[in-house]
Each structure stands twice: as structure tokens, then as C-alpha cells.
Structure 1
């Protein structure tokens, strides 16, 4: 690994959450491999806790996540902010709306990530504040699963806009209001300096997020109850 850090060639070990592995990493890895065809990339998609522990134990060169992974031994920066979106079958009764408000979830089948996920917790708080009771909830581990279930008409899914963009061709995707913040964090180990190739990959990630998608812009403008 010392050779890697000095030369900038060899292996780049990346960890990220599954939704970012689908919605962001392919767009950044492609131009990186064009510049560095000799670099072997190891991309692991796991949950936020595993990402934090892996970075602390030297398993990753950099991590990208929508989870909070703050730790005194990690360098963590928010590289993008957006808002959660609702995904549903294009023929869903609410699909014609430009925005779904939390009150619109009353009496609906709602598809969420597992109860320990930060987005799940935030959505539940919004529904409790608005005294909204869905007809039923479906919980699952992956945002991609939420999108595929919504595309089959199983209910209204709530996910981040990055994964929604991957499945957008088969879904109606609209912002959720009030805005439910989604933050993307990039993290490095605080024990040692990143390698040259890790720094370059981080720069490509930052450049990617500087070009905000129309969907993310729209979600960011939504306010109110």
C-alpha cells in the first residue's frame, strides 16, 4: 500500500452505499478508468455502519454515503445536498401531481427502507407531525428494491433522488414535501493522507455533484407542508 500511495497507481478501494453504487459510481468510474486503465478498482456497496468501520480499519481508500458516519478519526465532508423523492407507477392515482405532500400518503401503501435507516426515521417523523397514517408500510433493505416494487404498483416508495434517476424510465418520480433532506458524504481516514489516485477520484466525484440534476434542483426548491 505504501507503493500505491507514492506512485498513484495500483488499487483503488472504494466503499459506498448501494443506492450511490447504482446512481453515482458508474458515472464517475467510467471517466476515471479511461484516464487510468492500469488501476484496479474494488467497489464495495454496503451499509453506513460497515463503511465507517471499514474506513477505520483501513479497508477503503475513500467512502461515499448518504448515512451519517462522523467519527473523530475520519475526515468527512458533505459533497451534495438534495431532498427525498416519491416513486410510483405512472398510472398510480397520485402520479399526475408535481409534488407529493406528506398528507397525500394518508391511506396509501408506503414503501420505505428499514426502520434503522436515517431516511426512514425522517419520513416517519414527518408523518407523525402531520398525523398521517398510511394504509400499510412495506420495509426493505435496498432503495433499488423500493423502486422496482413501486414500478410494479405495490405502493409509493420514498428514496433518494440518485437511485430514483436509475429507475426513472419505469416510474413517476416527484419531490416529497416538506423537504426531507438527503446529504451525500465523502470520507477518508484521518490517520493518513489519501493516495494520489484517491484524491483524483474524489475530485471527479466533486465535479459530478457540482452538476446538479433537474430532479435534485426541483426537490431542493420544495418547501412547506
Structure 2
């Protein structure tokens, strides 16, 4: 028994004639007649009789049609499911992001995403770059956004943007009133609030100061999160170098944002699993993230 035979049978029942069924299925009436004859041989009973010149289903055909219709309803559900998956992926997207993304542009990214996929469930997980990488490599999360990348099995990485770090100072600090970029020697004698040792971005900042004859920083405080660092700066506890996205979102904390010279890079990477094919939802999230980062430059 072939699908085309059953499809022709169903079309005749619904339209009332072989001619109308042929139009419905974009084929010829003789082809419909042939398919019904084949189906009758497979089933072992007659499907139609002619009464007063009109085609009428037999009692066996009516009983058979009930099961055929249930099968077609199920098939339509399968088609609808496939269509939804094609348009919206699996329907649940898990995103892992470092705090400098999760606490700044990610709400806007999710808003744009929700406008395109209003019925998709999204879970946002926040962690440092190493944790984000582990979540993606293990397929716990579908998309990762990290600030630096260490080699890890099961994970692909792609640099999506590089921003230039800025100096943040207390609003009443002397450097806040200087009409120029802050230079490395300006840090002499200043309390510098640093990211934790081992952080990839911290390594870039340390390398910048290490390129001079002396390290001009005096470090009493270390903190994992740049938002907390900006808050500490706003309380007059020291100055720092942070991601410009974070600095922009923390101006209400009483800080002044100054350009830095020479510059230090703050990069972002999109992470994906090498084990699973990237879903439609994940690819859309990649695109929105790129656009949002460009918009904030």
C-alpha cells in the first residue's frame, strides 16, 4: 500500500468525485482511477460503487476512511511541528554569557529576539569566561559569549568584536577634570581596583602596565565583576580600567569615563558546540548580538 493510493482515496471521499480529486491533487482522472484500483487490490475489498451515475463509497470504504483521516491529522501535526522547528529551532534556547554582556546589552538582545520568536523559551546563564566555555562544550548551553577563550575540546569559538578599554574615576577625582586621555603614568600613586588574577582580560591589562619600567599601580582590591568595580570607584575607593559597555551602564554610580592611552583590548567571542549542529535559534541570536554590539560602539 502506497501513500499516493491512500491520498487519492481520501481526496475522492472529501471531494465526491475522481475528477475533483484529480484537480485537488494536480494529476489526471485516469491516474486517480488507477491508484484506486491498486488500493482495492491491496485492501481486498471494493471502495466505491456507482449509484445513479454518481460515485459512492462502500460501507468498507467509510470504515477505512475513519482510520485514514486519523492518520492524515497526525501527519498534519508532524508537518506543523517540522515547520515550527524550521522557523524557531527546538523552541528553547539556552544562552551563557559573561556578566559584562549579560548585565549590559543582553536585555536589549533578548527583547529583539522575543519580537522575532515570541513563543520561544529562553534561559540566560551568567558566569565567567571559563564557566561559559564549559557550559557550551558540554552542550548544556546552545550559545556562549565569553571575554576570552582557552582551548577546550568540544567547542568552537569566533571573535565577534573588540572594544577598547576605558579608565573609570570618581566624579570628583583630579583625572575627571583632565581634558585628555588618561595615560599609564597617571596611575602612579593611585589605588587601582583590579579584576581577579587569572582572568583573561586582567592578563591584558597587566601586560599593558608590564611594558613600562615600573608598574605604576597600587593594588589593594581585586574583584571578579566590572560592575562591582565601577561601584567601588564611584565610592572613591580607587580607579580602574574596565570594559566600555560596563562603564557606559554604570555612569549613574558617580563615575567619570575617560579614554585610555595606550589602548587595551576587550574582546568578545561567540562559542558553539562541535558536537551538535547550531540551531536556527542560535544562529539568529548570533546575528542579533553582533548588531547590538555594533550599535553600542
Q: What is the TM-score normalised by the length of structure 1?
A: 0.87
* Structure 2 partner of 1:128: 210
* Structure 2 partner of 1:180: 264
Q: How does 1:6-155 map to 2 (within 5 A)?
A: 7-71=88-152, 73-97=154-178, 98-130=180-212, 131-155=214-238
Once residues 17 and 194 of structure 1 are traced to their aligned partners in structure 2, the CA distance between those partners, rounded to angstroms, is 20
After the TM superposition, list the runs of 4 or more consecutive aligned residues in structure 1 that deviate by more than 4 angstroms.
3-7
* Structure 1 partner of 2:285: 201
Q: Deviations over 1:139-190 (max 9, x none)?
A: 0111110010011111102111111111023321112221111111011111
Once residues 119 and 8 of structure 1 are traced to their aligned partners in structure 2, the CA distance between those partners, rounded to angstroms, is 34
Q: For residue 9 of structure 1, report the CA deviation from its aligned partner.
A: 4.7
Once residues 188 and 219 of structure 2 are traced to their aligned partners in structure 1, the CA distance between those partners, rounded to angstroms, is 10
Question: What SS does the corresponding residue of 1:95 show, helix, strand or coil?
Answer: helix
Conserved in 2, the CA contact under 8 Å of 1:112 and 1:159? Answer: no
Once residues 240 and 217 of structure 2 are traced to their aligned partners in structure 1, the CA distance between those partners, rounded to angstroms, is 12
Once residues 116 and 49 of structure 1 are traced to their aligned partners in structure 2, the CA distance between those partners, rounded to angstroms, is 10
Q: How many residues align?
A: 212
Once residues 197 and 282 of structure 2 are traced to their aligned partners in structure 1, the CA distance between those partners, rounded to angstroms, is 33
Once residues 270 and 197 of structure 2 are traced to their aligned partners in structure 1, the CA distance between those partners, rounded to angstroms, is 24
The unaligned stretches of length 5 or more in structure 2 are 1-81
Conserved in 2, the CA contact under 8 Å of 1:102 and 1:132? Answer: no
Greater CA drift, 108-117 or 188-197:
188-197
Once residues 85 and 129 of structure 2 are traced to their aligned partners in structure 1, the CA distance between those partners, rounded to angstroms, is 25
Q: Deviations over 1:85-124 (max 9, x none)?
A: 1111111111123311111111001011101112222222
Once residues 63 and 108 of structure 1 are traced to their aligned partners in structure 2, the CA distance between those partners, rounded to angstroms, is 36
Once residues 78 and 90 of structure 1 are traced to their aligned partners in structure 2, the CA distance between those partners, rounded to angstroms, is 34
- Structure with higher Rg: it is 2
**Alpha-carbon spacing, 1:23–1:69, altered in 2? closer, same or farther (3 Å):** farther
Once residues 105 and 154 of structure 1 are traced to their aligned partners in structure 2, the CA distance between those partners, rounded to angstroms, is 14
Q: What is the TM-score normalised by the length of structure 2?
A: 0.67
Relative to its length, the structure with more helix (as a share) is 2
Q: Report the aligned-residue RMSD.
A: 2.0
* Structure 2 partner of 1:220: none
Q: Which structure ranks higher in relative contact order (CA pairs < 8 Å, sequence separation ≥ 6)?
A: 1
Once residues 5 and 117 of structure 1 are traced to their aligned partners in structure 2, the CA distance between those partners, rounded to angstroms, is 38
